[in-house]
Amino acid sequence: MLVPVTVADHGYGQLMRSCRPLAAAEFFAGIGLVRAGLERVGVDVVWANDIEPVKHAVYASNFDSAHYVLGDIREVKGISVPGVDIATASFPCVDLSLAGNRRGLEGEQSGLFFEFCRVLGEMGERLPPAVMVENVSSFVSSRGGEDLRASIAELNKLGYICDLLTVDASWFIPQSRPRLFIIGTLEPLGGPASGVAGPMRSESVAAFVRANQDLMFQELSVPIPSQDDRRLSDVVEHLDAGDERWWDGERFGKFMGSLSPLHKGRLDALRRGGITQWRTAYRRTRNGAPVWEIRSDDISGCLRTARGGSSRQAVVEVSLDGIRARWMTPLEYARLQGVPDEFDYSAVTDAQALFGFGDAVCVPVIDWLAEHALVPAVLAMGSQLTAKAAV
C-alpha cells in the first residue's frame, strides 16, 4: 500500500531530532542557491560541481567550497561523489527554453542531464534515495514532450519513481518564475499519478502524465504554498535622482519613444495614482522593430542570464515628479532570488553577478520543496527500510 508523504508524518522537526543531518550533492551548483535553500531546513551540501569559474567565485564567497569540484561534469566519476541522501540537478536550460535554440536534450548544454544520470548510475549501491531535477516550465513541451519523456525514463531506469511539480517563484517572492521540478524517490511514497491538473501540477504536466502512463509516476502529498504579499516595491533599490545608473536624456527618450499607446497608458495611470511606484520593462521585437513593454503588475518578469537583448530587465520609477528608468541592479536580482542583502558577489563584476543570479534558482522555492517534499521523502524511506529489515 502506498502511503502519501505528509509533513505531519515526516518533516523539518523530525529531521532536527534525527541522529544526523541529511546530506546532499549539488550538481550544476552555480552560485549555490540550491544549497542556500537546503541549508534553511538543515540539509548539509557535502559535494558540489559546476564548470563556471565565475559562479564558483560567488559560491566560495558565501559557503565553504572545499567540496566544490570546479570542472566539466563529463569528467566526474560516480566513485568520487560521496554517499548522500539527496542529489539535485539544475541542469542548463539553454536548449529547452523558449528563448533558447530548442534543440532539447540533443543540445550540447541541456543534454548534460544524461551525464548527471550517468554519475548517479556509477554510484551503484550508494545511489541517493531522492533526487530533485529543476528546469524551465517549457521542458514539458520540448520537442513535443519527447525530452521530458526521455528524462523520466532515464530516472526510472535508475529506480526512481517520479512526481512532476510546477512551482512559481511568485508564490514566495515578487518574481514571475515558473519552473518544473522532478522529485524522484527509490521507494513508492505517493499515490498513483492521477493526471489531473491543479495548483502544483499544470495542465501541460497533467496531460504529459496521461499520455505517458507506461512511465513510473507517483503523486506526493504536498501542500499548496500560501501567496506571499511582497511586491516589487519591497525589493527595488532606491537610488538618488543623481545616481549615474539612471538613463540619460537620450537613452530615456528612446525608451519612451518606443512605447506603444498601451504601455504609455500604463505609465500615465501610475502617475495619476499620486504615489511613487515601480514596474519592470522588457525590450522586445515587434513587427521587426525593437520596443519596450511595461509589465502591468507589481512584480518582476523572470530573471534571465543577462547577455543582452530581451534577457535584461529595466526598472521604471513613476512618481508625481516624473518617470525614470535604468537597468535592474545585481542587488535587485539577489533579492528577487530570495537571498539576503549580505550575500556576497563582490568577487565578480556586476555583469557576472547578473549572469549568476539569472541562471540560478529562487531560494524560497528550494526551501519549501525541501521541507515539504525532499526531507519528508527521505525520512519516510528510512522508516520503510527499517520496517522491511525488521520483517
pTM of the model: 0.89
Residue with cell 519612451: 256
In angstroms, the CA 97 to CA 100 distance is 5
For CA atoms 239, 245, 251, 254, give the dihedral sign. Answer: negative
Instruction: Tell me the CATH number for domain 12-227+357-390.
Output: 3.40.50.150
In angstroms, the CA 155 to CA 115 distance is 12
pLDDT mean across residues, the chain: 88
Helix segments in the chain, DSSP class H = 12-17, 33-39, 53-62, 113-122, 146-158, 203-211, 249-258, 261-272, 330-336, 350-358, 363-369, 375-390
Per-residue pLDDT tens for 258-304? 999 999 999 999 999 889 999 999 998 888 888 999 999 999 999 98
Residue with cell 535554440: 101
Residue 85 is classified by DSSP as S
Q: What phi, psi does 241 have (nearest 5°)?
A: -60, -30
23 CB neighbour count, 10 Å cutoff: 18
Q: Are 193 and 260 in contact (CB under 8 A)?
A: no
What are the boundaries of each domain within the chain? 12-227+357-390, 238-328
Q: What's the mean pLDDT in 187-199?
A: 93
Q: Which segments within the chain are labelled E, that is strand?
A: 23-27, 44-50, 68-70, 86-89, 130-136, 161-168, 178-185, 277-286, 289-294, 313-319, 322-327
Per-residue pLDDT tens for 305-361? 755 444 689 999 999 889 999 999 999 999 999 999 999 999 999 999 999 999 999
In the chain, the amino acid numbered 222 is V
